[in-house]
Amino acid sequence: MAGGVGSRFWPFSTNSKPKQFLDFFGTGRSLLQMTFDRFLPLVPAENIYIVTNQKYKDMIMQQLPALSEQQILLEPMRRNTAPCIAYAAYKIREKAPKANIVVAPSDHLITNTKEFERIISKGLDFVKQNDNLLTLGMLPSRPETGYGYIQITPGESDLRPVKTFTEKPNAEMAQLFLDSGDFYWNSGMFLWRCDVIIKAFEELLPEVAVLFEKCKDSYFSENEQTIINESYSLSPNISIDYGIMEKAENVNVQIADFGWSDLGTWSSLHELSTKDEDQNATLKCQAQFYNSKNNIVALPEGKLAVIDGLDNYLIAEDHGVLLICKKDEESKIRDYVDNAASIDDGKFV
């Protein structure tokens, strides 16, 4: 899934080039490319499909030249994760009705790739043999308020039925979740068989199922995009979690711990970045810090920042925009983006 607009990393990430297409760590590979690389030991390149917005097609073709155009599924508008997943599942069904499918966001960071491969292989074996929907629950390391949580049923196995899904909690509730040992971070990664997820759509989201079922004769044809555009225009805006996972009775969790982060905020990026002794992180540029701590600086390559007297700040520049704000107030970034869009016909977003 590669259709996000990446507004939380503005101005580093913009609507025209969101975070999945950026190289945050100077590795020479964007988050999308790193996700693609991560799956190659598990899935042949010809079996990897990317669902994204129509305006990102050229960027994906440039970053992932191994893919054919038929492997890039283009959404005409944003409709959340349920229609995105339905589109892919119904199209894949035309080639392999009982294919084992992994669904993954394109902008997550995973540091232990060997353990990732082990967990995904184990999950694929499970869904091949069982008519269950499987989600990956990440072992929590802190009382994080930025993630949803999954509560699992008691047991010894690391693969268990789901008890409840919970949206992002407040700090007190997050601490209770951590202390209980029964809650895991909701990673947004799923595994299932093609026929099983389609049956779930038919039973729990029939209004979505009927839209992509009617496209049956158009998949892999010249008419596909035209028919898909019509279906999307009629589709509800709904997440896979709310539409199916929280309602289905055949959901299991695979507990995992492979150095995962959804890289959703500047604060999470700061946590994952290399830092100096005062916990200052610098991305791409150079920086000199005086009487400063807990900051993250992200400027274009070749630029030098001199920071004096700042604590817990974000300093980011790109696309003609310089942003300086408190790290713990980055929730206001969406407001900054909206206000910037009104300046000079939105060229800054």
The per-residue pLDDT for range 236-281, each reduced to its tens digit, is 999 999 999 999 999 999 999 999 988 888 888 898 899 999 999 9
Residue 90's Cβ-side half-sphere holds a number of Cα atoms within 13 Å equal to 25
Q: Where among 241, 261, 281 does a domain terminate?
A: 261
Q: Examine the domain organization and report whether 149 and 283 are in the same domain.
A: no
The per-residue pLDDT for range 60-89, each reduced to its tens digit, is 999 999 999 999 999 999 999 999 999 999
Query: Residue 58 has what pLDDT?
Result: 96
Within-domain flag for 170: yes
Query: Residue 14 has what pLDDT?
Result: 86
Q: Where among 226, 245, 261 does a domain terminate?
A: 261
Question: In whole numbers, what is the pLDDT of the chain averaged over residues?
Answer: 93
CA dist., res. 253 & res. 158, Å (int) = 8
Work out the percent of the chain whose per-residue pLDDT is above 70: 99
Q: Examine the domain organization and report whether 326 and 218 are in the same domain.
A: no
Q: Which residues lie below 8 Å from residue 346, measured CB to CB, with a gap of 6+?
A: 340
Query: Residue 132 has what pLDDT?
Result: 97
Question: Does residue 8 carry a pLDDT above 90?
Answer: no
Q: Which of residues 333 and 29 earns the better pLDDT score?
A: 29
Query: Residue 49 has what pLDDT?
Result: 98
Residue 344 — pLDDT band, cuts 50, 70, 90?
low
Query: Residue 48 has what pLDDT?
Result: 98
The model's pTM is 0.91
Query: Residue 263 has what pLDDT?
Result: 83
Within-domain flag for 299: yes
Q: Examine the domain organization and report whether 285 and 199 are in the same domain.
A: no
Mean pLDDT of 23-38: 92
Mean pLDDT of 205-224: 96
Within-domain flag for 1: no
Q: Examine the domain organization and report whether 138 and 272 are in the same domain.
A: no
Total of domains in the chain: 2
Q: Examine the domain organization and report whether 166 and 73 are in the same domain.
A: yes
The count of other CB atoms within 10 Å of the CB of residue 69 is 9
Query: Residue 284 has what pLDDT?
Result: 84
The per-residue pLDDT for range 178-194, each reduced to its tens digit, is 999 899 999 999 999 99
Q: Examine the domain organization and report whether 253 and 273 are in the same domain.
A: no
Q: Which residues lie below 8 Å from residue 343, measured CB to CB, with a gap of 6+?
A: none
Within-domain flag for 2: no
The per-residue pLDDT for range 102-115, each reduced to its tens digit, is 999 999 999 999 99
Q: Examine the domain organization and report whether 165 and 243 are in the same domain.
A: yes
H-helix or E-strand containing 204? Answer: helix 194-204
Q: Examine the domain organization and report whether 67 and 127 are in the same domain.
A: yes
Least confident piece of the model among 53-62, 263-272, 285-294: 263-272
Q: Examine the domain organization and report whether 186 and 334 are in the same domain.
A: no
Query: Residue 332 has what pLDDT?
Result: 86
Q: Where among 217, 232, 261 does a domain terminate?
A: 261
CATH number, position 27: 3.90.550.10
Question: Does residue 117 carry a pLDDT above 80?
Answer: yes
Question: Does residue 343 carry a pLDDT above 90?
Answer: no
Query: Residue 346 has what pLDDT?
Result: 64
Within-domain flag for 13: yes
Q: Which two tokens stand for residue 329?
A: 């107030």
Query: Residue 7 has what pLDDT?
Result: 79
Query: Residue 178 has what pLDDT?
Result: 93
The per-residue pLDDT for range 139-163, each reduced to its tens digit, is 998 888 888 999 999 888 999 999 9
Concatenate the DSSP letters of all residues of 155-173 into one string: -SSSEEEEEEEE----HHH
- What is the domain range of residue 65? 7-261
Query: Residue 25 has what pLDDT?
Result: 79
Q: Examine the domain organization and report whether 17 and 52 are in the same domain.
A: yes
Q: Examine the domain organization and report whether 176 and 212 are in the same domain.
A: yes
Query: Residue 277 has what pLDDT?
Result: 97
Within-domain flag for 68: yes
Cα of first residue to Cα of last residue in the chain, in angstroms, is 22
Residue 277 identity: E
Question: Does residue 98 carry a pLDDT above 80?
Answer: yes
Q: Which residues lie below 8 Å from residue 257, measured CB to CB, with a gap of 6+?
A: 112, 115, 138, 139
Q: Which of residues 246 and 15 earns the better pLDDT score?
A: 246
Q: Examine the domain organization and report whether 125 and 232 are in the same domain.
A: yes
Bridge partners, 323 (sequence order): 316
Query: Residue 271 has what pLDDT?
Result: 86
